Structure 1
Amino acid sequence: MAEESTVIIDHPNRDKAASKATRLVVLALLLVSVVLMLLVTAGGWDQLQGTKAVLIGYELVYLVMAVYVARWNRGVLPVAAALAIILAIFGAVAAPGWFDRDHAGFAPSSIDAATLGAICVILIPVQVLLIAFAMRGFGQAWNVEVERNPVPRAPRPGAHPHLA
């Protein structure tokens, strides 16, 4: 019977400092985005008429993507960038609406409307950074695998076996 060789699969691009830093930044940006969306969701719950489901869906999708990025899954990075574009547009459209609600005659929200508007404005550069870093991570090819067989090293000629 033939000897079964154990193949070792190595991911050389994951060992690079740039790849590790990019993964960490993308993960942090996804989680910061979720926190900002949760603040808008919780603070403006009564005023969010048709967007409650959209925000909750975005929060869940971003959390799932964060899990996949933490597991070095490169495939979600373009999806994260695409969703970040849409969320940045939502933030740009929503911010003036929250600032307009900061006047007399509007129903109060749990968090001040101006604060919710500021959170929406902060969400825009966070999404732009997420787009940039997600695409940088996609270009780093985290998925590249190199197979190698563990080959025992032969001792050098004339070397003492205990010192090899």
Structure 2
Amino acid sequence: MKKIKFKGNPLTLEGNTVSVGEKMRAFTVSANDLSPFTLKDTSGVRVFLSVPSIDTGVCDMEVKKFNLEIGNIKGASCYTISMDLPFAQSRWCGDAGVEDVKILSDYKDRNFGEATGTYIKELGLLTRASFVVDSEDKVTFVEYLEEVTNEPNYEKILEAIKLAK
């Protein structure tokens, strides 16, 4: 099990961590209308952002940053997954004006957390992590942040999206 920290306190990630070069594992999460959403519902170059809660400062900044950037990268899409309830996610997206990033919930079965090794055992939340997946479902970039409250490396993620095919 991978170890991370939240405000300096050690925590444990459960599930199967993802490595560059492997196929993205199948998962099922919930869309804002509670319908199931799977990896098969995506195509092209994708970035999957795992965040603890979109309604917190760092997560808010992260999703808004990708909302601004992803529309400028042809053929790429961005999905943010958290444990927030779909209703709260929908409200947040409307309030924040987020339209280019699809927000999804892993609240029901923790399936994304299991498939990507992002489920924080002690908190019942997802950790902050980023996965870039190419059009063949191959993972081309992975970042698990050691400290959950830190921002991801935006430049490296955006560059990985541009390099993926």
Under a length normalisation based on structure 1, what TM-score does the superposition of the two structures give?
0.25
Higher-Rg structure is 1
